[in-house]
Amino acid sequence: MRTSKWFSHYKYKDNADYNIFCFVHAGGSSGSFSGWAKNFGENINIIPVEYPMRERRFAEPMPDSIQELAKNLAEENEDFFRDKKFAFWGHCTGGLVAFETAKYLSLNKNLNAEYLFISSLTAPEFSQVPDISGMNDEEFTEFIIKSGFVAKELCENKEILEYFLPITRADFAVHRSYSTDKIKLDIPIILFNGTDDSISVSESQIDAWENYTTKGIEKNYYSGNHFYINEHLAEVCAKLTSYLTEQEKS
């Protein structure tokens, strides 16, 4: 049984063939993935990634950049990533963290994910969030609800909101400061989006992920908004399984 402060809400199956590491959206925590495992068979482990500032790591500050966050994750868990074949799933800001972690592992550890699954996110150069530093909590809450950047249920409970607002601000800060170079990874990039997402609306900006892989991209669309996955979780998990299963056969 492998353990790490970076991973939470999972049961590790030693005999599984694959690990899917799951990176949450801005303002979220690893608990968002706690129900995913039931949608997968015995050959796949679902490993939710826990960022600093939340749950068991609430006392740890967020790093100053997504690259630093990715480097820390990769360096502190190299043996974990070498344990089995693995893939990354990242939603919105989590997609950037997943991409940078995959890039760091590839360039520095000669470790390549089988797939990079990116959800609700345009290519990195088009992924922007507004400057929220001048907003008070009320303005910021109104903004994240209207924009759809953060799951609405996080804003409906006052206690939960008070807990997650500082986390969300920190996540937005590292996302806003993010930039990257166009290094092509030898990893297929599989894109998932909602048809009514008001954030990831430009097809050309989604297609620009082609500039970051030598293995090509594939696109999957589901009805719904930025959080389409809330209505299509079983379908998405089945799709992830099919990719890994086909990869295993080839």
* Domain positions in the chain: 18-249
Beta-bridge partner residues of 185: 213
The side-by-side arrangement of strands in the sheet containing 44-48 is 44-48, 18-23, 85-91, 116-119, 189-194, 217-222
The two three-digit tokens of residue 191, written as one number: 């894109």
Question: In this structure, what token pair is assigned to residue 129?
Answer: 């969030």
- So what's the pLDDT on residue 151? 64
Query: Who contacts 103 (Cβ-Cβ below 8 Å, separation ≥6)?
Result: 70, 180, 183, 185
- The pLDDT of residue 11 is 92
The CATH homologous superfamily to which domain 18-249 belongs is: Alpha/Beta hydrolase fold, catalytic domain (3.40.50.1820)
Q: How many CB atoms lie within 10 A of CB 242?
A: 10
Within 8 A by CB and 6+ apart from 81, the residues are 74, 105, 109, 111
pLDDT at 1: 61
- Length of the chain measured in residues: 250
Q: b/e for 184-199, b at 16 or more Cβ within 10 A?
A: ebebbbbbbbbeebeb
Which neighbouring-strand residues pair with 48? Answer: 22
Residue 112 is predicted with a pLDDT of 97
The answer to whether the beta carbons of residues 79 and 13 sit under 8 Å apart is no
Q: pLDDT (tens digit, 0 to 9) for every residue of the chain, 250 residues total?
A: 678 999 999 999 999 999 999 999 988 899 999 999 999 999 999 999 999 999 999 999 999 999 999 999 999 999 999 999 999 999 999 999 999 999 999 999 999 999 999 999 999 999 888 888 889 988 988 887 777 666 666 677 778 888 888 998 999 999 999 999 889 999 999 999 999 987 766 899 999 999 999 999 999 999 998 889 999 999 999 999 999 987 554 4
**What per-residue confidence (pLDDT) applies to 250?**
47
Tell me how far apart the alpha carbons of residues 219 and 195 are, in angstroms, rounded to a whole number: 12
Distances (CA, A) of 21 to 5, 81, 226, 237: 14, 9, 20, 13
Measured at the CA of 112, the angle between CA 87 and CA 207, to 5 degrees, comes to 70
